[in-house]
């Protein structure tokens, strides 16, 4: 026989002993058998209906006992619900605690970058213009194309203006943005 451990809503663990459940089931079945024997003089059709009803009741009792002992998974997963003020107060307290361990310039920098306006702008820029694929492809194109242009210019004797790296980065960035756009359009996820 197996033992299962489950938590009740208060968080305490309870052992559900399969042996005890089997004993309780047997007691109820014996009671149902006695009741069934008492009505033995009734027609067989009625006895079958009573038997079916008894089995359904026993199943309902077992389901009810299990649901009372087993906690709801949604309640466990979500945890306590906090409103906006509580979340902001908690966030500010954590930030204040973290800043106590920082040097003065780091504290000032932290206050600037964790300002709500700066965080919102950063989030918008990070989700639109400064996509990781765009930055990566821009950097790779800047390296490869600048190297190629430099090698060609050196062999021909053509002077470089300095815009080659910036132009190659912009070209790679545009290709990275297009890649992200088409990837989202085709697959439907970011």
Q: Running along the chain, 190 residues long, what does each successive block of 10 average in pLDDT?
A: 50 62 84 74 58 77 69 54 83 90 91 90 86 90 94 92 93 92 84
Check: CB of residue 5 under 8 Å from CB of residue 14. Answer: yes
**C-alpha dist (Å) from residue 8 to 24, 65, 72, 121:** 20, 12, 9, 45
Res 1: pLDDT: 45
Paired tokens of 74: 């949604």
User: In terms of C-beta density within 10 A (0-12 exposed, 13-18 middle, 19 or more buried), how is residue 70 classed?
Assistant: middle
Provide the pLDDT for residue 46. 62
Report the pLDDT value the prediction gives residue 12, as an integer from 0 to 100.
Answer: 46
Considering Cα of 13, then 17, then 21, then 27, what sign does the dihedral take? Answer: negative
pLDDT at 146: 94
Helices (H) and strands (E) in the chain, counts: 8, 2
Give 153's strand partners. none
Say how far apart CA 171 and CA 169 lie, in whole Å.
Answer: 5
User: Is 14 strand, coil or helix?
Assistant: strand
Overall pTM surpassing 0.85 (yes/no): no
pLDDT of 125:
87
């Amino acid at each position: 026989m197996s033992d299962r451990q489950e938590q009740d809503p208060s968080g305490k663990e309870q052992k559900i002993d399969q042996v005890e459940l089997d004993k309780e089931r047997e007691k109820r079945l014996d009671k149902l058998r006695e009741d069934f024997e008492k009505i033995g003089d009734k027609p067989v059709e009625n006895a079958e209906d009573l038997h079916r009803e008894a089995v359904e009741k026993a199943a309902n009792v077992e389901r009810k006992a299990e649901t009372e002992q087993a906690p709801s998974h949604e309640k466990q997963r979500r945890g306590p619900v906090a409103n906006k003020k509580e979340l902001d107060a908690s966030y500010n307290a954590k930030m204040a605690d973290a800043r106590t361990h920082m040097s003065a310039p780091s504290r000032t920098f932290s206050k600037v970058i964790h300002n709500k306006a700066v965080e919102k702008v950063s989030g918008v820029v990070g989700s639109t213009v400064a996509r990781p694929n765009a930055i990566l492809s821009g950097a790779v194109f800047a390296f490869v194309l600048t190297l190629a242009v430099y090698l060609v210019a050196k062999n021909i004797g053509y002077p470089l203006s300095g815009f080659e790296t910036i132009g190659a980065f912009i070209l790679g960035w545009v290709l990275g943005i297009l890649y992200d756009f088409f990837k989202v359009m085709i697959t439907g996820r970011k």
